[in-house]
């Protein structure tokens, strides 16, 4: 992955390609399971994938949902529990909805968005989003964009 320093003099604008865009709905833990059931009942959604929080299986009856992927029409959205020990993206609690953009080069994507006027950062490790590496961009209109690699879906843990 080609990553340039973010504070160089000459801005080497890299071509950033996004391969996917998904909307992610955050609900109060641990209501994501109920929310998925609701979307099935209300909209005929089809669940195509489910990843639970690995740390919660032992001490909770209902493991938190890192993300359930549900299909509506030809699109998919992600439903996730807001975990206490995760760092939620800015203002998730007020919006409940963020966009997930998938790209192979998180740094370049965040860098480009920041140059365009957004607030942005890349976090990694325990303090990051569910322990994964993810870019977070808040645009000038208050919308939050998570920027992830396609292999690690937004909200997922490594397999």
Binding residues (CB under 8 A) for its own copies: these are 1, 3-6, 16-23, 25, 27-28, 31, 34-44, 47, 72-75, 77, 94-97, 99, 101-102, 109, 112-113, 115-118, 137, 139-143, 145
Report the run of H or E that residue 40 belongs to, with start and end.
Answer: helix 32-43
Query: 33, 65 in Cβ contact below 8 A?
Result: yes
Q: Which two tokens stand for residue 42?
A: 């209300």
C-alpha distances (whole Å) from 23 to each of 18, 26, 83 are 14, 10, 18
Among residues 4 and 88, whose Cβ is nearest to its own copies?
4
Q: Which two tokens stand for residue 14?
A: 């890299």
Among residues 44 and 127, whose Cβ is nearest to its own copies?
44
Among residues 94 and 159, whose Cβ is nearest to its own copies?
94
Q: How far is the CB of 121 from its own copies (least distance, A)?
A: 14
Longest dimension (CA), the chain: 54
Among residues 49 and 127, whose Cβ is nearest to its own copies?
49
Q: How far is the CB of 134 from its own copies (least distance, A)?
A: 16
């Amino acid at each position: 992955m080609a990553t340039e320093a973010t504070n160089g003099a000459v801005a080497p604008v890299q071509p950033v390609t996004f391969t996917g865009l998904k909307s992610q709905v955050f609900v109060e833990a641990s209501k994501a399971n109920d929310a998925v059931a609701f979307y099935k009942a209300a909209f005929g959604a089809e669940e195509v994938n489910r990843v639970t929080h690995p740390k919660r299986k032992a001490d909770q009856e209902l493991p938190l949902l890192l993300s359930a992927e549900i299909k509506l029409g030809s699109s998919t959205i992600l439903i996730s529990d807001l975990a206490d020990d995760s760092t939620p993206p800015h203002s998730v609690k007020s919006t409940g909805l963020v966009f997930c953009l998938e790209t192979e080069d998180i740094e370049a994507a965040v860098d480009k968005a920041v140059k365009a006027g957004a607030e942005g950062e890349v976090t990694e490790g325990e303090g990051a989003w569910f322990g994964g590496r993810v870019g977070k961009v808040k645009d000038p209109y208050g919308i939050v964009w998570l920027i992830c690699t396609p292999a690690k879906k937004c909200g997922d843990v490594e397999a």
